[in-house]
Chains A and B, each alone.
Chain A
Amino acid sequence: EPEVTQTPSHQVTQMGQEVILRCVPISNHLYFYWYRQILGQKVEFLVSFYNNEISEKSEIFDDQFSVERPDGSNFTLKIRSTKLEDSAMYFCASSSPQGAYGYTFGSGTRLTVV
């Protein structure tokens, strides 16, 4: 069964540093997403991406965040100048077409900012 792959599975970074979280969506999917889940809290939408541009973003997704699809397979989330409150599980997801056949989530990257 096709999978969404995320790397790394765990990342520890110092406050103020930049991190890049990587995702390889399912190859024939057209919509890509980032979600985050702070420990003990609900899954929160960050951003959706379609046709090489952002389709929708939440109020969490401020100038500290950016996304990129640098080539035909990777989808990245960059967090500049990380803060303690950025510590969370970050999930990448993909779907095609939008919603009808479900969103497939990657196994997540656990980001810890110290």
Chain B
Amino acid sequence: GQNIDQPTEMTATEGAIVQINCTYQTSGFNGLFWYQQHAGEAPTFLSYNVLDGLEEKGRFSSFLSRSKGYSYLLLKELQMKDSASYLCAVDSNDYKLSFGAGTTVTVRA
């Protein structure tokens, strides 16, 4: 089976940086995704890593280490609208995404 772990909750102050870690053990690997999900809404795509290293996209960056089964999502210059759940998901090369339980990030003024 697939096992994807991420912290349940994180709290940070507006303007700060938060790093959300994700570890995974899957039967195959075709890439790792990070999604943002606001309550009652669909997941929206943030980033995709398939090779080791850092991918930067504006205020959001994502890192992958395939040998360690590890990724993180870095959110910089936090804004109140960044309060949401962040989902780590692995494409295990069998036509599906396996999701972690999500990390709820609360941004405080």
Contact = CB atoms under 8 A, between A and B. Distances in A.
A92 to B, nearest CB: 9
Contacts of B100: 42
B36 to A, nearest CB: 11
A25 interface: no
A104 interface: yes
Interface residues of B, number: 25
A103 B99 contact: no
Interface of B: 30-31, 33, 35, 40-45, 48, 50, 87, 89, 91, 93-102
A42 B96 contact: no
24 contacts: A33-B96, A43-B43, A43-B89, A45-B99, A48-B95, A48-B96, A50-B95, A56-B95, A56-B96, A89-B40, A91-B43, A98-B30, A99-B30, A99-B31, A100-B31, A100-B48, A100-B50, A102-B45, A102-B48, A103-B33, A103-B45, A105-B35, A106-B42, A110-B40
Size category of the A interface is: 20 to 34
A98 B96 CA distance: 9
A48 B41 CA distance: 21
A68 to B, nearest CB: 18
B95 A108 contact: no
Interface of A: 31, 33, 35, 41-45, 48, 50, 55-56, 58, 89, 91, 98-108, 110
B24 to A, nearest CB: 13
Contacts of B94: 56
Nearest to A103: B97
Contacts of B97: 33, 35, 43, 45, 103
